[in-house]
Structure 1
């Protein structure tokens, strides 16, 4: 019997046995789509562990895929050991191994997928490839207890307004060029803001000290947004304005945040009106920005709606979010066959059939 057939048969037998006798389901999740690698363990909605490591580059520099993958390879076994120890579990206690299939950077995704696939085979456990965006959404729903929210997903690689309908997370609006987090990161490189702990966090802290608003392009196109023009404009004017004393770096951080976040609030409100929604859930790394939460909160208050958001433990890429989405998928009968356990760099949120939610 070939290894593929063996694993597939073993997985089918395990799922059948699981449905018959397992009272609690434990899923481990491997995340490594960008510069953070995290491994989390979920047991029936309880976060048992969620350690991670971040690859940080010098000010003015981004992170290259090959260097990021090298970082992940160097620390992944340490993080795996921490996850098991913090949870107080052994490999035999794990029911399913989940990993980020995409979207994300190719080399880091492949690195983590290979580790997850190897672990699944060594431990004799079923494997599940998880959409990174779905992981953020399901983690947000778990932590905040939001029922059926309009979701604003904002991160370094993605910007989408999403709502659930008929077994899909439907994308109502998105960026047509770069993500909001990427815009912030690239601006941070222009004025040499530190990447430790993250450029977005440091921009947020500097923005609190800004007082002068510098007018920037505001580009909303229907339900979509565009950030590349704003970035090009602020790159062009920043050095001139700073050198001439027209404004401070803090003023530029303040102005950029106010402009970007206003655009995001606008398209989120429009999606809420379209869906008749009274809940907003912010997920993704940029979602832990307190100014974004504050601005969204004002809009929600005016609409008599509720705002849900989490802190950096669960907004920023982490393994527990992949474990949680994997838990939902596994409990609904999904597994990923070994021969299908590749990665997909451009894996859209609305490609995933949501088998675990009732309409």
Structure 2
């Protein structure tokens, strides 16, 4: 029987620290990502996602290449992006790369399309930031037209048209599983619903509950567009330790270094331990703590938003590879089984309430 709920991991290939505390090379970081994915596969997780970035603190700029390497060394885990910055890429080439990955992995490829939270790819690939919105809208429109794998005739404003064009290689079975990743924009949520694509909510700050209106809007928009029901996934950062105290003490310096570095670019105030503890609390966006604490928090967030998948971004700045491997093992062997148990109990209670209401 297919499980109703899925659990995955995401990484941006954060450049980690070695045994001497110095940053590892980008090359070694990439090799470590492959090893981390192999562990996730062995432990039975459902999904492994790799984000695209073009910055010195992240090693992955070509996720599909890394995913192809992972595909050759894994057996069952689904593999995808987290996210692919479609605005600064070509939809046809993105489809071709992921359909190739799907073939290599024997049908395990997924793609999460988004606008990205960083803008380095725009000047790097020659795109104008003043067309940020228009680029994503038009390219998502074209990508959606490619999914049925029929001859495409398409015209836009920012790319050459297509006339009766087939794209190769085709997906061997079915169609490419395609999600839209959003960070809080109602327009993006409605756009995903318009195309009938599953939704990933990237919750990286504040309470997951504040995304409830977006989840409700998405489901309502699907109905209005006469699209079938689609799953909602959550993407949030986390780290699983032996205890709440150990996990928070271990992650805090890595978290502060990362937030402060980005904050200097964006005008944020330096991160404080008080803010960190708030995000790590039961109502925050950081899934940091003991297996039981994190499991309770994940189950609560999934119930609140009606999500059926949770992907934890397990890489957090320079947190060492050995710590990441331990966190992955605890997530897969302790957290996920406990979350499944909690959700099964909650679903059973809901079914009893529904049955009682129907009989009254």
Same fold (TM over 0.5): no
Higher relative contact order (CA 8 A, sep 6+): 1
Normalising by structure 1, we get a TM-score of 0.26
Normalising by structure 2, we get a TM-score of 0.26
